[in-house]
């Protein structure tokens, strides 16, 4: 269980580094600087809590599974972001984004969470 937590945490951090690096490129910052927080390792590692969901949804169509995973990731992001904002340790603030909810989640990130959720499913089923 600890090994899977570590893998999810590291995969999530890598995805975040690539995502924020891509945003640097979009802003024409060719240094491709990325940004993350050590807190994110623990948040991504919490994907382990959704492993039973993977078993329950294995026979569902891909579109439905990806949507369910995206909703789960939004839920984790909102709950952890809400708590971290209360503690003044939240490393992200989406207040200026067009489709934000309380500055904690961005609905326009749904496609990214869809893909990441299916990636975690693949890692769990095929690798772990």
pLDDT at 128 over 80: no
Q: Do 120 and 8 meet the contact criterion of CB atoms below 8 Å apart?
A: yes
pLDDT in tens, 40-65: 999 999 999 999 999 999 999 999 99
pLDDT in tens, 59-72: 999 999 999 999 99
The contacts of residue 87 (CB under 8 Å, 6+ apart) are: none
The Cα–Cα gap between 108 and 55 comes to: 27
**Average pLDDT of 68-78?**
97
Burial code of 67-78, b = ≥16 C-beta within 10 A, e = fewer?
bbbbebbbebbe
Secondary structure of residue 100 in the 3-state scheme:
strand
Q: Do 75 and 82 meet the contact criterion of CB atoms below 8 Å apart?
A: no
């Amino acid at each position: 269980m600890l090994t899977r937590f570590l893998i999810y945490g590291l995969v999530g951090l890598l995805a975040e580094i690539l995502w924020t690096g891509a945003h640097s490129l979009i802003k024409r910052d060719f240094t491709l600087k990325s940004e993350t927080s050590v807190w994110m390792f623990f948040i991504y590692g919490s994907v382990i809590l959704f492993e039973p969901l993977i078993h329950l949804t294995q026979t569902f169509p891909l579109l439905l599974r990806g949507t369910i995973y995206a909703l789960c990731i939004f839920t984790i992001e909102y709950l952890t972001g809400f708590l971290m904002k209360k503690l003044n340790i939240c490393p992200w603030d989406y207040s200026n984004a067009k489709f934000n909810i309380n500055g904690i989640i961005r609905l326009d990130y749904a496609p990214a969470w869809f893909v990441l959720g299916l990636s975690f499913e693949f890692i769990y089923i095929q690798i772990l």
